[in-house]
Amino acid sequence: MEEFLANALSFPTILFSVLLGVVCLYWLFALFGLVSPDLFETDFDFDISGDSVSLSGLGGFMVTLGLTGVPASLVITLLVLYAWLTSYFAVHFLLSLLPTGLFYWLAGSLVILIATALALFATAASVRPLRPLFRKLHRPATVPALLGRTCVVRSSVVDEHFGEATVTLDGAKLILKVRAESGKLKRGDQAILVEHLSDQNAYRIVPEHEFTG
């Protein structure tokens, strides 16, 4: 354990260790519905409306590397994980043999570049077989097909700025971003989709008992 911590907390692995810690916290919060799983989503990912989006800048770069077709949160997680693993084993088998000094820091900086490059290729290879799965999960759903349907709140809170719910459409369970008056809904409550908020790519919902009452 001591050797593991020494490698994980030494340069350059400590840089990726910090990022890995942030990623783990993000998924922990997402698991409990405290943050949205699409917090890191960008324009090159799928969205529930299925609209096509022009790619430029970062999006074009990701397309070139073959890192599209899955949520950006997953891409970032894999990138950090692979970079951390590469850096950790580089420190364990190579850098630990070098004396502390300028040459060690130069070698460590080179490891950062190599680890990042290898992580990009490894992540691209990993997401390739996952694309068909996410294509099914995020298949286009028209607004009229969803409005009026019953959904189940999955996030811990729902307000005017944040919220998630699941709805079943043709046997498939979809995760939607939803908005509602603060304090009216909590995890597990049933609600009705009443309006599509195109500017947020989200749906306004009301408690089921209010809609039916």
Which residue(s) pair with 179 in the sheet?
A: 204
Q: What are phi and psi of 39, to 5 degrees?
A: -60, -35
What's the pLDDT score for residue 157? 87
C-alpha span between 202 and 162 (Å, rounded): 9
Positive or negative torsion for Cα 98, 99, 101, 103:
negative
Kindly report the length of the chain. Answer: 213
Q: How far is CA 149 from CA 142, 146, 170, 196, in A?
A: 12, 6, 12, 12
What are the extents of the domains in the chain?
A: 2-135, 141-212
Cα angle value 23/67/12 (rounded, 5°)? 45
pLDDT mean across residues, the chain: 83
- Cβ distance 50 to 139 under 8 Å? yes
Fold of 141-212: OB fold (Dihydrolipoamide Acetyltransferase, E2P) (2.40.50)
Q: What is the pTM of this model?
A: 0.64
DSSP 185: -
What's the pLDDT score for residue 52? 37
Q: Which residues of the chain have pLDDT under 70?
A: 36-66, 135-142, 213
Tens-place pLDDT, residues 32-78? 777 766 555 543 443 333 333 333 444 555 666 667 778 888 899 99
- Cβ distance 43 to 53 under 8 Å? yes
What's the pLDDT score for residue 46? 37
C-alpha span between 169 and 54 (Å, rounded): 28
Q: How many Å from the N-terminal Cα to the C-terminal Cα in the chain?
A: 60
What's the pLDDT score for residue 22? 95
